[in-house]
Amino acid sequence: MKILITGGAGFVGSSLAINIKTNYPSYEVICLDNLKRKGSELNLPRLAKAGAIFVHGDIRNKEDFDALPIVDFVIESSAEPSVLAGLEGTPDYLINTNLVGTINCLNYTKKCGAAFIFLSTSRIYPIKAIEKLNFEEAETRFVLSDEQSVPGVSSKGIAENFPLDGARSLYGATKLASELMIHEYNEFYGMKTVINRCGVLTGPWQMGKIDQGVMVLWVAKHYWQQQLAYIGYGGSGRQTRDMLHVKDLYRLIDFQLHNIDKVNGEILNAGGGVEVSASLQELTQICQEVTGKTIPISKVAENRAADIRLYVTDNTKVTALTGWKPEISMKQIVTEITEWITENEEALAYVLK
Separation CA 203–CA 107 (nearest Å): 31
Model pTM above 0.95: yes
pLDDT score, position 162:
98
What CATH number is given for 2-352 in this structure? Answer: 3.40.50.720
In sequence order, which residues have a C-beta less than 8 Å from that of residue 47 and are 6 or more positions away? 8, 9, 14, 17, 18, 31, 54
Q: What angle do CA 243, 245, 247 make, to 5 degrees?
A: 160
The 10s digit of each residue's pLDDT in 137-146 is 999 999 999 9
pLDDT score, position 86:
86
Amino acid at 281: Q
Separation CA 133–CA 145 (nearest Å): 8
Given a contact cutoff of 8 angstroms between Cβ atoms, the answer to whether 118 and 193 are in contact is yes
Given a contact cutoff of 8 angstroms between Cβ atoms, the answer to whether 150 and 163 are in contact is yes
| Furthest-apart CA atoms within the chain: distance in Å | 56
For residues 240-253, average pLDDT: 98
Separation CA 125–CA 85 (nearest Å): 17
Amino acid at 209: K
pLDDT score, position 41:
95
pLDDT score, position 261:
98
Beta strands in the chain (DSSP E): 2-6, 28-33, 53-56, 73-76, 115-121, 135-137, 142-144, 153-154, 157-158, 193-198, 200-202, 228-231, 240-245, 266-270, 277-279, 297-300, 310-311
For residues 49-78, average pLDDT: 98
Amino acid at 254: D
CB crowding 218-249: b at 16 or more within 10 Å, else e: bbbbbbbeeebebbbbebbbbbbbbbbbbbbb
Residue 279 predicted with pLDDT over 80: yes
For residues 233-248, average pLDDT: 97
For residues 220-234, average pLDDT: 96
- For the chain, the structural domain boundaries read 2-352
For residues 141-168, average pLDDT: 98
The 10s digit of each residue's pLDDT in 285-336 is 999 999 999 999 999 999 998 999 999 999 999 999 999 999 999 999 999 9
pLDDT score, position 88:
81
The 10s digit of each residue's pLDDT in 82-137 is 888 888 888 999 999 999 999 999 999 999 999 999 999 999 999 999 999 999 99
